[in-house]
Amino acid sequence: MERGRAGEKVAYLRLRGGELRARQRVTFLRREPGGGVHAYEGRPSGVAVVGSGARVAVAGDIATVRGVPEIRVGDRLGEPGPAGQAHFAPPSLETVVRPRIPGQEPRLHAALVALAEQDPLIGTRTLPGGGTAVLLYGEVQKEVIGETLARDFGVEAEFEPSRPVYFERPSGTGAAREEMRQAGGAFMATVGLRVEPAAPGSGVLYRLEVDLGSLPPAFHRAIEEGVRHTLGAGPRGWPVTDVLVTLTATGYASPVTAAGDFRGQARAVLTEALRRAGTRVYEPCHRFELEVPADAFATVSAALAGLGAALDGTSRRAETWVLEGEIPAASVHEAERRLPGLSHGEGVWWSRPSGDRPIRAR
């Protein structure tokens, strides 16, 4: 993804079948982080094959595509990518970004969104009150993003201290149902939902136990929108993932019921179903390997334990010890910062994102 002279998006597309030409109406698909698929239509204003300049792209070509405002890196034509497919682990940290000069908040937000469209490793989300949070893999990424914002967009940014990205998983199965405006209900729609745990890494799965034709398509979309919105903040305030949500009951009164009734009822019903199922908060972790001088073993081990690390392997190599284990992602930067002092400047640290574990008191 790049930008043209007028700031328009220019996307590079690899075609593996069929053909693509300008003004052709096509559907782009995007696999969302929660497991859903976002579809949108586009009519490219320009298609040009890289190398030849041909205006019709065929199988095997790489072409530039212009005139599709919603397009971003990772979108597909044809079929969405497999659920759960990812080249990188999801970011485990986030930071709130603010402009150094007050009044540049809209400009900063637009710049961050533009960066996220071009780079799959940059994620953003809008906070209540209009702030912007950026998802991170590590502290160095702050410096890279800050320099890019200043150089390419003319916005100087300030970053708050990073914080871990926790999430919730359902502990069991829970179900709830609300009828149309019964017992003082506010929505003219009947919705029943059941939630249950799904396989780790599966994200958000949504399925129907009612006939697809039992509701107009717009009402089905409204229910699913309400479900996915509610899962953005579970009973403990964190996104809910690895969950299967099943629509078990529906009902409406034509022509009184509107899509908003189903959207609102779905949120209320799912909130109750999650409460009944219960959720547990998890924290992302890193797998680490650390080499330290023999005389620093005890000091370093104690410091790691204080940061929530769990050692599961140690070995002696000549005058050094090698420690292996798991550490909360939120503690990685602090461990790296303290290591030189604890190891007389001779420690060697390596870590990578590696799963998660339930939050435990430390």
Q: What tens digit of pLDDT does each residue of 90-115 get?
A: 677 889 999 999 889 889 988 988 88
Residue span(s) of the chain under CATH 2.40.30.10 come to 2-77
Give the CATH architecture of domain 168-277. 2-Layer Sandwich (3.30)
Residue span(s) of the chain under CATH 3.30.70.870 come to 93-165
Q: Write the Ramachandran bin of 176: left for phi over 0, alpha for psi from -120 to 50, otherwise beta.
A: beta
Tell me, what's the pLDDT at 326? 94
Mean pLDDT calculated for residue range 17-32: 88
Tell me, what's the pLDDT at 168? 94
pTM of the predicted model, to two decimals? 0.69
For residue 282, name the pLDDT band (cuts at 50, 70, 90). Answer: very high
Q: Which fold has domain 2-77?
A: Elongation Factor Tu (Ef-tu); domain 3 (2.40.30)
Give the CATH architecture of domain 282-358. 2-Layer Sandwich (3.30)
**Choice between 222 and 69, residue whose per-residue pLDDT is larger:** 222
Residue whose tokens read 């994620």: 123
Integer CA distances (angstroms), 5 to 8, 55, 64, 93, 113, in order:
7, 20, 15, 34, 19
Is 210 strand, coil or helix?
coil
Tell me, what's the pLDDT at 352? 87
Tell me, what's the pLDDT at 181? 74
Is residue 124's pLDDT more than 90? no
Mean pLDDT calculated for residue range 52-64: 94
Residue span(s) of the chain under CATH 3.30.70.240 come to 282-358
Is residue 340's pLDDT more than 90? yes
Phi and psi dihedrals of 328, rounded to 5?
A: -55, 140
- Determine the Cα–Cα distance for residues 251 and 27; give it in Å rounded to an integer: 31
Tell me, what's the pLDDT at 194? 97
Residue span(s) of the chain under CATH 3.30.230.10 come to 168-277
Cα 130 to chain center, whole Å? 19
Task: Please write the tens of the pLDDT for every residue from 72-93.
Answer: 888 888 876 555 455 556 677 8
Q: Which of 114-123, 201-210, 305-314, 317-326 has the lowest mean pLDDT?
A: 114-123
Of the CATH numbers 3.30.70.870, 3.40.50.2000, 3.90.950.10, 3.90.1150.10, which one belongs to the domain with range 93-165? 3.30.70.870
